[in-house]
């Protein structure tokens, strides 16, 4: 490893260039320094401190109880282990209900946590929030499709955008959020063909999870990749541990499978 100040960090410009040049972007979650370091050393481009920590770290049934304080804490831990990857942090449930609140909480994730981008679950209804964050220098990833913070409103974790009307609404949300200044989109659990259409139409990088191979990049929850999620992991996930003795080797296998277009396979899509 080269000396610290010679280490080039991944930036939003690098992500845009990867999309333009057709190089796949590999992303993973991490919630502490030890795993952020392993994820980073595997060559991951973007580390997400996801509010999924409410489920995989804290053991709750949903992400709804996760607080800004908890997100700041875990982001700070991940920042301590990260070297090269861009660090993105989730805005938790109810932390961005108006632009002033969103600015305050995004500032904490960046200034106290060390994040370089925030992600928020939202559609066209979050345009004003995304616009204000963007205007004030906060890069935003807009998370569309299945939004786990809506679990109680949806009544479960289900594929989104299956019928023509909801597919149309998703396409419009993607366009609106990009126009509002989003730097990146994340599509969760949407049909493969719809994700391909949105990725094609977008002018910014699109990361998928359960959204097929046409997206510009992929993300999975760390615990699913390592096969340590209690209970049944989502169908779109793949355990990369079999065949590897070390955690780092499994993480590298994931990164290489994404880069090589071997993950996701058709059976991981809807």
Ligand X SMILES: CC(C)C(=O)C(=O)O
Ligand Y SMILES: Nc1nc(=O)c2c([nH]1)NC[C@@H]1CN(c3ccc(C(=O)N[C@@H](CCC(=O)O)C(=O)O)cc3)CN21
Q: Which does 185 bind (CB under 5 to 8 A by kind): ligand X, ligand Y, Mg ion, none?
A: none
Q: SS3 string of the chain?
A: CCCHHHCCCCCHHHHHHHHHHCCCEEEEECCCHHHHHHHHHCCCCEEEECCCHHHHCCCCCCCCCCCHHHHHHHHHHHHHHCCCCEEEEECCCCCCCCHHHHHHHHHHHHHCCCCCEEEEECCHHHHHHHHHHHHCCCCEEEEEECCHHHHHHHCCCCCCCCCHHHHHHHHHHHHHHHHCCCCEEEEECCCHHHHHHHHHHCCCCEEEECCCCCCCEEEECHHHHCCCCCCCCCCCCCCCCCCCCCHHHHHHHHHHHHHCCCCCCHHHCC
Instruction: Return the one option of Mg ion, ligand X, ligand Y, none that residue 219 interacts with (CB less than 5 to 8 A, by type).
Output: ligand X
Smaller CB separation from ligand Y, 145 or 181:
145
Q: Which residue in 19, 25, 63, 70 binds ligand Y (CB under 6 A)?
A: 63
90 is in an annotated binding site: yes
224 contacts ligand Y (rule: CB under 6 A): yes
Q: Is 193 annotated as a binding residue?
A: no
Q: Which residues are catalytic?
A: 188
List 18, 25, 47, 56, residue binding ligand Y (CB under 6 A)? 56
9 binds ligand Y (CB under 6 A): no
172 belongs to an annotated ligand binding site = no
Stretch that binds ligand Y, among 88-96, 114-122, 216-224, 247-255 (CB under 6 A): 216-224
Binding-site entries for 3-methyl-2-oxobutanoate: 51-52, 90, 119
Binding-site entries for Mg(2+): 51, 90, 121
Binding-site entries: 51-52, 90, 119, 121
């Amino acid at each position: 490893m080269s000396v610290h100040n010679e280490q080039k960090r991944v930036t939003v410009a690098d992500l845009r260039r990867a999309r333009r040049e057709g190089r796949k972007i590999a992303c993973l979650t991490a919630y502490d320094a030890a795993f952020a370091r392993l994820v980073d050393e595997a060559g991951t481009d973007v580390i997400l401190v996801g509010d999924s920590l409410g489920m995989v770290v804290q053991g709750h049934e949903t992400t709804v109880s996760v607080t800004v304080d908890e997100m700041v804490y875990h982001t700070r831990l991940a920042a301590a282990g990260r070297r090269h990857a861009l660090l993105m942090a989730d805005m938790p449930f109810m932390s961005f209900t108006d632009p002033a609140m969103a600015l305050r909480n995004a500032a904490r994730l960046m200034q106290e946590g060390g994040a370089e981008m925030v992600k928020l679950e939202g559609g066209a209804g979050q345009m004003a929030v995304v616009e204000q964050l963007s205007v004030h220098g906060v890069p935003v990833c807009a998370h569309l499709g299945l939004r786990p913070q809506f679990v109680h409103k949806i009544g479960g974790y289900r594929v989104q955008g299956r019928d023509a009307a909801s597919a149309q609404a998703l396409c419009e949300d993607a366009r609106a959020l990009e126009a509002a200044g989003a730097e990146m989109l994340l599509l969760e659990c949407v049909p493969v063909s719809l994700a391909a259409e949105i990725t094609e139409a977008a002018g910014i990088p699109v990361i998928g999870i359960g959204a097929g191979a046409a997206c510009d990049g992929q993300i999975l929850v760390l615990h699913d990749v390592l096969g340590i999620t209690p209970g049944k992991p989502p169908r779109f996930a793949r355990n990369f541990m079999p065949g590897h003795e070390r955690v780092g080797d499994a993480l590298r296998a994931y990164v290489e499978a994404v880069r090589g277009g071997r993950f996701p396979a058709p059976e991981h899509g809807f």
